[in-house]
Amino acid sequence: MIKVLIVEDSPVVREFLSYVLSADPDIEVIGTADNGEEALEAVKRKRPNVVTMDIHMPKLNGFDATRRIMETYPTPIVIVSGSTTAQEIATTFRALEAGALAIVPRPKGIGHPEHQATAKELVQTVKLMSEVKVVRRWPRPKTEPAIRSVPRVEIHRASAEVKIVAMGASTGGPIVLQTILSELDKDFAAPILVVQHMTSGFIEGFAEWLSQSSGLPAHVAADGEYISPGHVYIAQDGFQMGVKAGGRIALSTDEPENGLRPSVSYLFRSVADVYGRQGVGVLLTGMGKDGAAELKLMKDSGAITIVQDEKSSVVPGMPGEAIKLGAESYVLSPDRIAGALKNLVKR
């Protein structure tokens, strides 16, 4: 049984979440808490396998409760968000910086057409996160170092100017993307295109958070727009994203690939076709195999390809599938991926 602690200040929502989770035979709700202080005590006493966390609570909010849990009794934490606007969702993503593993929308109410789908997403996320081995986060120092050291990674290849970087991620991807992008220079000399598997309705808030937290301008891509160096373009909900000759975004409603739209596979294949050896492909943490075969296609076209290492991946499925195919030029941790990109993309 997966033991779950529900942290939520609304009695109605607590009861609803308990109903949704307890309906699964593999999940046992072992307790609830209505604020962050109670959550800390409950984690200490009950030792749950997963905590579902609200953000806006009295006494101690979800951000601070998440950070303190990860500093004392590290436990997989899933943020259950009732936010609806892009700005609210962007704020919710801060919980990932505090140590939460995933953010999912609060399931729709019983009788709503989307109830079953959204309840299933919460249950599946809780089950998946229960398998993740989390580590303790040490308390933050009072003063942060002025300059962070990014490991230098030597990349050996025939000379070819990098014109584009394509990145794909799923479960665990947002914080890894933020880590990589925040280490890149503000005048990074190539555009970055990103497919991040995400719940519908969250992508605008994700783009806003990524822009705020990484320091690079990030926004949801629009069909036909020209791509510019140092900018991050994120695939829209429900559209495949590729590129056209001349450096323009191409969005389409082509069929899902690997059950996904947007899919990493579609992006990587498009970049291989248009840019060949002038592209870089990066495949990050995630469940399944989306992008793995197409990363091999990029490599075969002469591109440099990078996959995230297993140790740092929340779910190593996608990068692991790429390695099985021999699709990788390099296997690196997120900070070393940033170092590799800085070395590859010269001003």
**Active-site annotation holder among 34, 290, 301, 313:** 290
Q: In this structure, are 182 and 101 located in the same domain?
A: no
Q: In this structure, are 81 and 9 located in the same domain?
A: yes
What is the extent of the structural domain holding 50?
2-129
Is 154 inside any structural domain?
no
pLDDT at 257 over 50: yes
- Average pLDDT over the chain reads 91
The pLDDT assigned to 155 comes to: 66
- pLDDT tens track for 134-164: 766 656 554 444 444 555 566 665 456 899 9
Q: In this structure, are 339 and 200 located in the same domain?
A: yes
CATH number at residue 234: 3.40.50.180
Instruction: Answer with the one of 84, 108, 129 that is the final residue of a domain.
Output: 129
The pLDDT assigned to 142 comes to: 47
CA-based torsion, 129, 134, 136, 140: positive or negative:
negative
Is 141 inside any structural domain?
no
Is 145 inside any structural domain?
no
Is 204 inside any structural domain?
yes
DSSP 8-state symbol, 261: S
- What does pTM read for this prediction? 0.89
The pLDDT assigned to 106 comes to: 94
Taking each helix axis as running N to C, give the angle between helix 11-22 and helix 115-129, from 0 to 180 degrees, rounded to the nearest 10.
Answer: 80
CATH number at residue 47: 3.40.50.2300
Q: In this structure, are 252 and 322 located in the same domain?
A: yes
The pLDDT assigned to 147 comes to: 43
Is 151 inside any structural domain?
no
Is 19 inside any structural domain?
yes
Is 206 inside any structural domain?
yes
- Compute the distance between CA of residue 84 and CA of residue 250 in angstroms, rounded to an integer: 28
Q: In this structure, are 248 and 329 located in the same domain?
A: yes
The pLDDT assigned to 151 comes to: 56
Q: In this structure, are 202 and 261 located in the same domain?
A: yes
- Compute the distance between CA of residue 207 and CA of residue 186 in angstroms, rounded to an integer: 17
Distance from the first to the final alpha carbon of the chain: 53
For residue 127, the one-letter residue type is K
Is 67 inside any structural domain?
yes
The pLDDT assigned to 241 comes to: 98
Q: In this structure, are 172 and 227 located in the same domain?
A: yes
**213 catalytic, yes or no?**
no
82/284: higher pLDDT? 284
Q: What mean pLDDT comes out for the span 205-230?
A: 94
Contact assessment for residue 77 and residue 43, using Cβ atoms and an 8 Å cutoff: no
Lowest pLDDT segment from 92-101, 158-167, 323-332? 158-167
- pLDDT tens track for 258-295: 999 999 999 999 999 999 999 999 999 999 999 999 99
Q: In this structure, are 119 and 208 located in the same domain?
A: no
Instruction: Answer with the one of 129, 155, 179 that is the final residue of a domain.
Output: 129
Taking each helix axis as running N to C, give the angle between helix 317-324 and helix 292-300, from 0 to 180 degrees, rounded to the nearest 10.
Answer: 40
Q: What mean pLDDT comes out for the span 312-334?
A: 94
Q: In this structure, are 199 and 296 located in the same domain?
A: yes
Q: What mean pLDDT comes out for the span 178-198?
A: 94
Q: What mean pLDDT comes out for the span 31-58?
A: 94
**Active-site annotation holder among 197, 231, 263, 329:** 197
- pLDDT tens track for 13-38: 999 999 999 999 999 999 999 999 99
Q: Exposed (0-12), middle (13-18) or buried (19+): which is 94, by Cβ within 10 Å?
A: middle
Q: In this structure, are 337 and 189 located in the same domain?
A: yes
**Active-site annotation holder among 170, 211, 313, 329:** 170
Q: In this structure, are 52 and 189 located in the same domain?
A: no
Quote helix, strand, coil % in the chain, to nearest 5.
35, 20, 45
**313 catalytic, yes or no?**
no
**170 catalytic, yes or no?**
yes
Q: In this structure, are 214 and 329 located in the same domain?
A: yes
